[in-house]
Structure 1
Amino acid sequence: MKQSCRLTISLWARNDSNINFDGELSRLAPYRFGAVRGISYGSRFDEFINSGVLNLELASDQTSAIRMALAQRFDILISNHAGAIHEMKKMGLLNDFKVLYPVVQEQETFFGFAKKAHLEPLRDELDQVLKQLKQNGYYDLTYKKYRDVVTPRCSFLLAMQVDGITCFQRYAANSISSTFTSRWLGIQNGA
């Protein structure tokens, strides 16, 4: 069975904003939204886009979208929750933004591997590792560790981005083959 993780989609506004969100997207129609071109943010937001009432500005990538929000090109940024935290922290801008709760949507997410690259062994090992992380409680432990930063539940691998690779490496040292760790995290054995 292929393992999946939860992906949380949330709305972000500048800290100086007085925007409030009660969970009803249609009430935010007067505001300008920003998103990354080519990304689906789940069925709820896709329906909101298709309603025709949304003023949407598209960015080429997450970093550009964050800069555009900071420059007031739009009022609300929609993003993968943990991804936004990771990028904002990397840019030194996390304290310039606030999350508008409740989240827009939580959805299952899966990992895809190109067939031509012959990555079946890596895919199968990743599925096994995720299964182990869920069975032994480490997935939930990681979630709880980031509850105050990454709220609500995010995927283990996205939480891993928030903490670099520290959590995964700690687990890897105990239970995951060093070959898998090296291939997946892009590190050399003994590094």
Structure 2
Amino acid sequence: MKRTSWLPGLVLSCLLFCPLAQAREWLAVGTDFPQLYEQDGQGRFIGLGADLLRVVLGEMGDSVRFELYPWARAQLMVAEGRADILVGPYRTPEREMRMLFTRHAFYRDRLVFYARSDQPLEWGGDYARLQGQRVAAIRGWVYGDRFDHARAHLDLRSVEGVGNALLMLQHGRIDLLATNERNSRPWIEALPAGSLVQLQPAIDSKDGYFAFPRREPYEALKVRFDETFQRLLEDGRFARMAAEAGVQVPE
């Protein structure tokens, strides 16, 4: 009996500590976000969001696998627990009901309208001036409270993807495109110079986060993730990574 008296203690120790030592591979999903989450020519995921996940989860002793989906589907996958991490969502009360957001944002977007240069519009921040204009918004995107309050009074079309929306604008199928500078820049640079103009002022600015399913097992992941990300903020590594990626970050 004495030779087996250590077994209960060993079993208890394994139950308490062994799961913590097991590395976990997490599934991160998102859509093509230039500078944040995209694939290079070899299929490797690049951008600040992908790099941050590798570093943070690596320091936690875990790893990450990446997949690309349309934005609305990626959000649904995380909300339903079919994926573990959503890359880059803006924070809204509706999304917080379905997902757990990280404490810190990792980038900031400037939301703007684009118009064709031969049909410029002085909107001056007044949504009443947009009446009669065919306005495209990207499906699943968030544009801020003022834009949402004006939706009912706009001739609004929901479009899948920035590239499609910019082609519609270029060919006169819409009059205005509501988008963000970062996502739009690569597409606009591929168009004839000066064909589009950005309207002033901006629609809004929004910060982007990582998010997890709002389920009990992910609460511990969020705590560990926040603690590790905080260390990157404090030691300057995050600032260096953001500067190398050319990404604007929250002040």
- For the 8 Å contact 1:3–1:131, the answer to whether it is kept is no
1:59 alignment counterpart: 159
Normalising by the residue count of structure 2, what TM-score does the alignment of the two structures yield?
0.47
Q: Verify the 8 A CA contact 1:142 1:156 in the aligned structure 2.
A: no
Tell me, yes or no, if the aligned pair for 2:233 and 2:239 is still in contact at 8 Å: no
- The 3-state SS of whatever aligns with 1:110 is strand
Shift of the 112–53 alpha-carbon distance from structure 1 to 2, 3 Å rule, reads same
Alignment check: 8 A CA contact 2:115 2:175 kept: yes
Separation in structure 2 between the aligned mates of residue 96 and residue 127 of structure 1, nearest angstrom: 43
Alignment partners' CA distance in 2, 1:75 and 1:127: 43
Structure 2: distance between partners of 1:131 and 1:100: 37
Q: How far did 1:63 drift?
A: 1.1
Letter aligned with residue 65 of structure 1: A
State yes or no: 1:7 paired with 2:109. yes
**Could you say what secondary structure the match of 2:148 adopts?**
helix
Correspondence for 1:111: 210
Q: Select 2:187's aligned residue among 78, 87, 97.
A: 87
Please state how far the C-alpha of 1:21 moved relative to its aligned partner.
1.9
Which range is displaced more, 29-38 or 128-137? 128-137
Q: TM-score, normalised by structure 1?
A: 0.59
Which has the greater radius of gyration?
Answer: 2
Match of 1:44 in 2: 146
Residue 7 of structure 1 and its aligned partner are, at CA, apart by 2.3
User: Matched residue of 2:123: which SS?
Assistant: coil
Give the distance between the partners of 2:210 and 2:179, measured in 1 at CA: 18
Q: How does 1:116-155 map to 2 (within 5 A)?
A: 125-126=228-229, 128-130=231-233, 132=235, 155=248
Provide the aligned length of Structure 1 versus Structure 2: 144
Give the RMSD, CA atoms, in angstroms. Answer: 3.6
Query: Which amino acid in the other structure matches residue 103 of structure 2?
Result: K
Alignment check: 8 A CA contact 2:113 2:178 kept: yes
State the shift of 1:88 in Å.
2.4
Q: Alignment identity in percent?
A: 21
Q: Which whole-Å deviations, capped at 9, do the CAs of 1:145-190 have from their partners, x for residues lacking one?
A: x7xxxxxxx7349xxxxxxxxxxxxxxxxxxxxxxxxxxxxxxxxx
Distance 1:113 1:22, change over 3 A: same
CA–CA separation in structure 2 for the residues paired with 1:81 and 1:131: 28
- 1:100 aligns with 199
Query: What is the aligned counterpart of 2:128 among 23, 26, 41?
Result: 26
